[in-house]
Chain A
Amino acid sequence: DAGVTQSPTHLIKTRGQHVTLRCSPISGHKSVSWYQQVLGQGPQFIFQYYEKEERGRGNFPDRFSARQFPNYSSELNVNALLLGDSALYLCASSLGQTDGTQYFGPGTRLLVL
């Protein structure tokens, strides 16, 4: 069975631009969470979506938004990119809304110049 997939694998943008990252969860999983991991730190929670609705949001500005589609895949959008948005963006899927066990994808490496 396929694990969590993410696209693209790498992305280079300039300040002020917009970016869209995509995630497909493990088949049968209905919850998708997004995390940001800057170099040298553990992942930080950005959003959780379950059944197409936002169920949780971390301490990130409104420039960050996300949505989940009927097939449970998800997009993370970041507007007005800043240099500090450079990071590895990770998607994690789980069966349910409060099922703590999460499986991560390979991530999208975003570099903002």
Chain B
Amino acid sequence: GQQLNQSPQSMFIQEGEDVSMNCTSSSIFNTWLWYKQDPGEGPVLLIALYKAGELTSNGRLTAQFGITRKDSFLNISASIPSDVGIYFCAGRSYGGATNKLIFGTGTLLAVQP
């Protein structure tokens, strides 16, 4: 199935470090979403972005909707052990009549105390 390019594939960091991950698409999106998924559970919505250039924060998390509408990034500042999990980006195509989301390949984050 179709998936977005998400990088890095995995990150192993020390507690307190900042983290950055990004997502790119070959097509234009009108919505970018970032989710965190713990093993065996459903994705939890972290941040939703609706306009090109939009920069939105949620606590230690900051995400931006790229001005080309084809990319987005997520930053996590001062990481803590509970940040461990898989982070997915997801986009909704511009002009679509459905809510279909296309997901990225995921970034596995491990945080060492």
Contact = CB atoms under 8 A, between A and B. Distances in A.
Interface of A: 4, 6, 31, 33, 35, 41-45, 48, 50, 55-56, 58-59, 88, 90, 92, 94, 97-107, 109
Nearest to A96: B99
B62 interface: no
26 contacts: A41-B1, A41-B105, A42-B3, A43-B101, A44-B2, A44-B103, A45-B101, A55-B98, A56-B98, A56-B100, A59-B1, A97-B97, A98-B97, A99-B99, A100-B31, A100-B99, A101-B33, A102-B45, A102-B101, A104-B35, A104-B42, A104-B43, A104-B44, A104-B45, A107-B40, A109-B40
Contacts of B3: 41-42
Interface of B: 1-4, 30-31, 33, 35, 40-45, 48, 50, 88, 90, 92, 96-106
Contacts, number: 86
Given A102-B33, A107-B41, 5 more contacts: A41-B106, A44-B103, A102-B101, A104-B44, A106-B42
A58 B1 CA distance: 9
A94 B1 CA distance: 23
A34 B2 CA distance: 16
Contacts of A4: 42
B96 to A, nearest CB: 7
A109 B95 CA distance: 33
> Looking at B33, B43, B98, B106, which has the most chain A CB atoms within 10 Å of its CB?
B98
Contacts of A6: 42
B97 A42 contact: no
Given A103-B45, A104-B44, A42 B100 contact: no
